[in-house]
Chains A and B, each alone.
Chain A
Amino acid sequence: MKTLLWLGSAAAVVVLAVLLQPGPGGPEQQAVPVDDAALSERRGALVDEIVFTQETDPGKVTGMIETGSHHVFAQGVTSVTVFNRIRDSQYAAHDISYGFSVELTLNPAGPHLDDGSLNPFHSPRVREALNWLVDRRYIAEELYGGLAVPRYLALNTAFPDYARLADVARALELRYQHDPDRARGVIAEEMERFGAERRGSRWFHDGRPVRVNVLIRTEDVRQRVGDYIASEMEDLGFLVERRYRTAAEASRLWLAGDPGTGQWHIYTGGWIATTINRDLAENFSFYYTSRGRPEPLWQAYDPDPEFDEIAERLQRRDYQSWDERQQMMARALELAMEDSARVWLVDQLSVAPRARDVELAVDLAGGIAGSRLWPYTLRFRDKVGGRVVFALPSVLTEPWNPVAGTNWVNDLLIMRSLNDPPLLPDPFTGLFWPQRIDRAELTVQEDVPVERTHDWLRVDTEPEIAVPEEAWIGWDSTEGRFLIVGEEHPEGLTARTRTRVYYKDNYMDRRWHDGSRVSLADMVLPWILDFERADEDSRLYDPSHAPNFQVFRRHFRGWNIISEDPLVVDIYSDQIFPDAETIVAQRTPSMLPWHTLALGIRAEWAGELAFSSHRADRNRVDWMSLVAGPSLGTLDRHLEYAVEHGFLPFPGMVADYLGEEDEIGERYQALKRWREERGHFWVGDGAFYLHSVHPVERTVVLRRSEYFQDSSDKWLRFTRPAIAELELDGPVVVERGDGVEFSLRITSEGEPYPPDSLDSVRYLLFDGTGAMVRSGEVEPVDGEEWRIRMDAEELEQLGTGANSLEVAVTSSRVALPSFASHVFATVPRRQTTTTEGDQ
């Protein structure tokens, strides 16, 4: 009886717990529909609240979206099973990014290894032949279940350089398409040249079977890729040993080990890119020459002298014009394929699942984690308000501070919504757009090749750019003042670039999340801190900051506040990027709230906390966190002191840039209120503020900031990538002597693709042997319609046989190029004999 009672009580608790669903509190969870007019009136973020929580199991993704408990999974999913579930769900949708590439790293040591055995991959021809051996389409479609696209070249297929060189790339891809017979022939030739002989189905050298050790990564699909390659090598007649290893185990062999020992011959490598890289010119040096990395494998690379020289020049950006660069890139691509120290296989697609009614801007390379625009575009489709729940693989991974805090992608993803940078990168092209600046003027030396795409900036050249004497170039930590160019370089100083940034008129009218008004001190103090942390005489000296700072000092040539109202700043530097937009983005100063930095500075002076992990470990103190943990108590004490004494760091310099009369007092009072209300010290100026932090529950709550007054629809055009969809059509048989016309439709989501957004629409014509016989521009007709016309004379070059017409379309809206192909046959003209009877 007692047992029954007991069991009954337990059941009652269970039922109670199921029924007891506590209300979440906070803002109204439901988003409300909105029309375009109302949307354009709205200011600030499009949703009211974002909750980040930790979920490590991608298997739960679809279920959680379907039950409505979560809306966005920021972790890229690469499992085909999960992807299929997402695709089949009526509640889930997904975005795709291209940031992970898979290749075969080949061991170039030899030709004879330390044990005397033959290493066939010492031969560039054998390495090159692997390109014909592997069936990239099979790998992408079968092994990766469609979650990958074939990749042949040293350029990521979703990055701008690939699009810019689309016609060259396409020609090379056709040259190296799957042709196992050709691979077998080349490899056999080379093996015989090395003195190997074939006995039955096996290759032998010096009486021993030729061995190939395939080092196979086990954590992902690369295990299947490795097995596929190993089987192909066995079929070729090699004695294959499959060595299955995890990342750490494998790295001891391929990365740290001497390739001459022959522990491995082929390694299933992978490389990740978290943002769109607009300049891949240094890829050739990195992947194919000894300059890439100091490890033994790279030191074993011995590229062809021509390739080595081009790779080195590309790395140094040693070219006079953009055209010259493109020619060098095209040649380097060709030589890289002949070298093939790496055989590129696929660009893996990563799927970011989300609820079907949720939209946000996702970076083409880095997914949601790599997107800077997601906070400005996140919304329930055609609605405003509501709460969005994000799942991240980890939350609050490391302590948060704005100077040298966490750099984990998941932490940075959240931080990006709390701060508002002056420029934001386009998630589809990587080019920067102005957010807090009105315009910029970039002046470069005449010999510096720089490309401008957008019209918010102007680029001009000068034979010599002199840095004015009054520009700040250094910092004297003893006297607490900036050093100017006049005293540091009395002989005068020049720079390769001058970036003049015009901030928006209302830039100084904005407020931090704690309600305090921004001032120029918020821009000046972070600069001082940067110099202080690299100065050995400073109490803030941080050895881990010094190496990076020294690099910065090498190209930094000074900065100067030209006007405070409106704010105009000049920055001088020797650092060059091919895109003018990137140079401006890299140089433009941003702001951090000086009053929170001041507390950190005091805590570090007192030896209680440290901005960086390194200094924290060195001094055996806590790594500063402005959002949680033991740091908060320490910062509380310093806040009390600051309130009481009106503490201002480096007053000799910073005081001149304070705005309001009692800014010091007001700032600290605002921060004190903020700390009491929110429980942390993280003050930003972004579209969302940090509402609450729950470390053990691994949950972070953000709410829409009332101080953020940008139009809500400002960035909505970046919610979906405008990928061009092509339809190429034409006759499948053409008689020699006739002309021909092919039609091309270019659309995006069913709408004609705007012609002014198309960078290039080119065609390439290949004959039956795969040789390119002709290329040119496709001719616009009307709207989405384009055409390619060839007269009889042009077609005559093809001869008789099967031909391929390839079209490559690149757009200024998205880095991803689009391709279409059409196969047609040229046949001899039919001899028609006309007779009266026939008629």
Chain B
Amino acid sequence: MSLPGGTEAMVTQRGFWRDLRSMLLFSGKRLLALFLTVLVGVYLTIYIANMGGQVDELRMVQIRSDVAEAVRADPAFMDMPAAERNALIEERVQLDVERLRLDQPFILRSFDYLRQAITLNLGRAEQMHSDAGSRQVYDIIVERLPATLLLFGTANLLVFITSVMIALALSRRYGSMVDRSVIALAPSSAAPAWFYGIFLILIFAFLVPVLPAGGMVQVPPPEGSLAYAGSVLRHMLLPVVAMYLSSIFISIYSWRTFFLIHSSEDYVEMARVKGLPDNLIQRRYILRPTLSPIITNFALMLIGLWSGAIILEQVFNWPGLGTLLFEAIGHRDTPVIIGSVVIFAYLLAITVFLLDILYAVLDPRVRMESIK
């Protein structure tokens, strides 16, 4: 029995609105939850980065000490009576105290930091500058972004693509020589990339000096853009290889195990029994059902680029965001620390939200669960 055309349309329309309402409600709840997570996360960062306000005391001591030594080292003040010199020091200390708003209670400043961070008004750094000399936190971060994306993007993409490809192939050759070799090599990833970096520098920069020991480009930088690109490529090689070596085997091992589980599902066995070609089985019966975790992994890898890698960048003298964050912590430059964290927090929240939606698009089961 079928419903009249108009009624059927109405039912379909009602279903659409119901689904839409459910989706909006779901999205709203998720967004609110994510926003609160970001809010709490950023405030905790502000609080911890300032040790609940105790950093103010450290900064006061540091300012006083720096000013006192600067005045003492300046021959122009050498013959000043002690009382006058101390008054001068005090005057200069006060200028810095006002500049850094250290005369205000930390708790007030912390909410001000939070307000600016949440509205993505990154503001001015307190101590640091961009390499080009700007004090805007936005400029400081954006200046380092290309170098980070280039290095970590290349390495992570290489690791991701090759590991998925090799893992897929290995999942079909379970127990083979190559498979056993990968399992044996997986613990090599316990060593971080910088550890491999040191050895690579020692071998390829000093023992057999064919590659540079560090930096992003040769000194002085080549004037032509092709030569410049070539130089950057040469300088990227060692850090990329270091990152690749430190991640590839564990990554292949994880994906291979993951694919192995899915390869032994009944529907895959059925496809094999039906005599479908291997490529088709891989694409349609293994990769497609596992697309959600692959995409999740890929998306998290992409936003993971934001944080850079402090020690690796130090070892290879690479001007990335990791070094920037390290310097910001060293300078106790709260706006830069918050700037880096809040952008990461927002990126993570957006990615999680988009993944939720993507899951629903990719997997009808998730969609139904969400709606329920």
Contacts and interface: CB of A to CB of B under 8 A. Distances in A.
A252 B129 contact: no
Interface stretch (A57-65, A324-332, A786-794, A795-803): A57-65
Interface in B198-247: 201-202, 205-206, 209-224, 227-228, 230-231, 233-234, 236-237
Contacts of A692: 220
Contact of A291 (B78, B82, B169): B82
B221 A396 contact: no
A551 B76 contact: yes
9 contacts: A25-B220, A67-B209, A256-B64, A275-B73, A397-B129, A398-B129, A399-B129, A695-B132, A697-B215
B215 A53 contact: yes
B61 A57 contact: no
Interface in B65-86: 65, 68-69, 72-73, 75-84, 86
Given A51-B219, A63-B206, A551-B80, 16 more contacts: A18-B211, A51-B220, A54-B215, A54-B317, A57-B314, A60-B201, A249-B58, A256-B60, A272-B69, A273-B73, A547-B92, A622-B133, A629-B134, A696-B132, A697-B221, A697-B319
The 5 closest A-B pairs by CB, nearest first: A291-B82, A629-B132, A629-B133, A22-B227, A625-B133
Contacts of A616: 135
A381 interface: no
A6 B166 CA distance: 11
B219 A399 contact: no
B199 to A, nearest CB: 13
B90 interface: yes
Contact of A14 (B82, B162, B227, B237): B237
A697 B124 CA distance: 23
Interface in A664-707: 692, 694-699, 701
Contacts of B314: 56-57
Given A67-B205, A630-B134, A696-B131, A279 B68 contact: no
Contacts of A272: 69
A251 B212 CA distance: 40
B91 interface: yes
Most buried by A among B135, B209, B211, B217: B135
B214 A699 contact: no
Interface residues on B, range: 35 or more
B95 to A, nearest CB: 5
Nearest to A62: B206
Nearest to A701: B220
A248 B75 contact: no
Contact of A629 (B62, B78, B124, B130): B130
B217 A547 contact: no
Interface string A331-369: 000000000000000000000000000000000000000
Interface in A23-56: 23-26, 49, 51, 53-56
A63 B202 CA distance: 9
B57 interface: yes
B317 A56 contact: yes
A623 B317 contact: no
Given A623-B133, A631-B133, A22 B81 contact: no
B95 A22 contact: no
A293 interface: yes
A252 B212 CA distance: 42
Contacts of B319: 696-698
B62 A53 contact: no
A346 B203 CA distance: 38
B363 interface: no
B261 interface: no
A626 to B, nearest CB: 9
A279 B78 contact: yes
A483 to B, nearest CB: 22
A698 B230 CA distance: 18
A18 B237 contact: yes
Contacts of A274: 73
A22 B124 CA distance: 38
Contact of A256 (B61, B80, B227, B228): B61
Most buried by B among A17, A57, A614, A627: A17
A294 B86 contact: yes
Most buried by A among B73, B133, B223: B133
B355 interface: no
B220 A694 contact: yes
A60 B210 CA distance: 16
A631 B139 CA distance: 13
B219 A60 contact: no
Contact of A628 (B133, B162, B228): B133
Most buried by B among A49, A279, A575: A575
A577 B80 CA distance: 12
Nearest to B230: A20
Contacts of B230: 17, 20-22
Contacts of B211: 18
B365 interface: no
Contacts of A54: 215, 317
Interface in A233-256: 248-249, 251-252, 255-256
A617 interface: yes
B149 interface: no
B149 to A, nearest CB: 13
Most buried by A among B131, B169, B211, B230: B131
B326 to A, nearest CB: 11
A607 interface: no
Contact of A625 (B64, B132, B158): B132
